Amino acid sequence: MTRITKLLLVAAIFIAASCAAPSLATAQPGYGGPPPRITCSSDDGRRNWCDVGPSRDIRLVRQISGSPCVRDSTWGVDRRGLWVDRGCRAEFIIGRVDQPPPPGPGRGTIVNCSSNDGGRRWCDIGPGRDVRLVRQISGSPCVRGSTWDIDRRGLWVDRGCRADFRVR
């Protein structure tokens, strides 16, 4: 076998082996799919930490508990990771989290609705019935179907729930 033939054969084997080797590239948070989610719970009423890796970009997306989940009060992020306290149990998004777009045409309107005296209050939302809680203000829990919802009269809040809602 000639020297050129040997070099071509070695080059062909090298190329074939590099094509068959698995890629070392990894997806970065925020690209190629939804951001990772984690459920973190303070089931015993005490502070509990959940591992979120190196990320400190965390957003609460769904409160599960009847106890309030309020950032920097009953949940937050520190050097140990995501923490929850005093019965807060919720689902969080981890990683780079884009904030929802500001209100505008086709994006909805922000409505603040408050049960300041602990009683049920209705807030006018017009004809819209697509309502999402975007920011809980109260220390009292805002849980859909329990302390807030919509009915024929509009958006209602109860038992101290105070929050901003996006209405479309």
pLDDT digits (tens, 9 = 90+) for 26-79: 334 444 556 788 899 998 889 999 988 888 888 888 888 888 888 888 999 998
- Range from 9-13, 89-93, 144-148 carrying the lowest mean pLDDT: 9-13
Cα separation, 49 vs 57, in Å, equals: 15
> What pLDDT is recorded for position 56?
81
- β-sheet bridge partners, residue 49: 83
Q: What is the pTM of this model?
A: 0.45
Domain boundaries in the chain?
Answer: 37-94, 109-167
> What pLDDT is recorded for position 46?
92
Over 60: is that where the pLDDT of 18 sits? Answer: no
Cα separation, 93 vs 34, in Å, equals: 9
Q: Which amino acid is it at 97?
A: V
Span 107-166, pLDDT tens digits: 678 889 999 888 999 998 988 888 999 888 888 889 999 999 999 889 999 999 989 898
> What pLDDT is recorded for position 16?
62
Torsion on CA atoms 82, 85, 88, 89, rounded to nearest 10: 50
> What pLDDT is recorded for position 85?
94
Over 90: is that where the pLDDT of 8 sits? Answer: no
Residues 131, 122: contact at Cβ < 8 Å?
no
Cα separation, 3 vs 40, in Å, equals: 64
> What pLDDT is recorded for position 66?
81
**C-alpha pair distances (Å), 49 with each of 29, 57, 68, 88, 108:** 21, 15, 17, 12, 35
> What pLDDT is recorded for position 136?
86
How much is the average pLDDT of 88-103? 68
Over 60: is that where the pLDDT of 99 sits? Answer: no
Rg value, the chain, Cα: 25
Cα separation, 33 vs 97, in Å, equals: 12
How much is the average pLDDT of 87-91? 90
How much is the average pLDDT of 9-24? 58
> What pLDDT is recorded for position 128?
81
